[in-house]
Amino acid sequence: MSTQNIVLSGFMGSGKSTIAKALATNLDKFMLDCDYILEGFNAMKAKDMRAKFGDLAFKISQEKMFLFLKNSVKNSVIATGGNMHWLSLNELGVNFYLKTSFETIIDRLSKDKNELEKRPIFQDMQKACKLHVQTQDKFSQMADFTIVTDDKSIELVKDEILNLIKEKL
């Protein structure tokens, strides 16, 4: 597996960043969080960029970041943004889809008020639920592996991914 990236995809709040940190530590790889990279590229929070410039500008920025990662990043664990389902994430490396029920996502995010507030989509739960349903197939189709995260600890999900890496890669 040497320089191959490990990519974590999934809906907002599925645990990508948290699991990526645990994997990066275990695998001795760099951890890159696309949400923070995007904010760095634009010198503003993602929600502020969307509000100020609109969805098209946001997607263009995501695509630029995607191309940067694809062409420049190796030997890393990449936590993708939860709204990157429209990009070919498997081109970045081995893609693990963290499949998480909407109920579990809401439960996790509700434990910290700031987590819900920094994700504007969750201001309208019906809209968020609809988007969750709409994106599941796309995430699943792009994934090399699907990991169901409901009722699993960070450690258990991390170990499941590590076992797949050892067995399959």
Residue 1 has pLDDT above 60, yes or no: no
User: What residues contact 65, with CB distance under 8 A and at least 6 apart?
Assistant: 34, 37, 38, 41
Q: Which contacts (CB < 8 Å, 24+ apart) does range 164-168 have?
A: 164/96, 165/1, 165/6, 165/27, 165/94
Rounded distance between C-alpha atoms, residue 106 and residue 72, angstroms:
34
Residue 27's pLDDT is 95
User: What residues contact 56, with CB distance under 8 A and at least 6 apart?
Assistant: none
Residue 106 has pLDDT above 90, yes or no: yes
Per the annotation, where are the binding residues?
13-18, 35, 82, 119
For residue range 29-67, list pLDDT tens digits in order. 999 999 999 999 889 988 888 889 888 888 899 999 999
Residue 126 has pLDDT above 60, yes or no: yes
Q: Rounded to 5 degrees, what are φ and ψ at 149?
A: -100, -10
Per the annotation, where are the binding residues for substrate?
35, 82
Q: Which domains does the chain have, with CATH numbers?
A: 6-157 (3.40.50.300)
Per the annotation, where are the binding residues for Mg(2+)?
17
Rounded distance between C-alpha atoms, residue 99 and residue 120, angstroms:
21
Q: Amino acid identity, residue 96? A: F
- Helix axis angle for 16-27 and 154-168, nearest 10°, is 50
Q: Alpha carbon of 109 to those of 42, 87, 103, 147, 169: distances in Å?
A: 25, 25, 10, 19, 32
Per the annotation, where are the binding residues for ATP?
13-18, 119
Mean pLDDT of the 131-154 span: 95
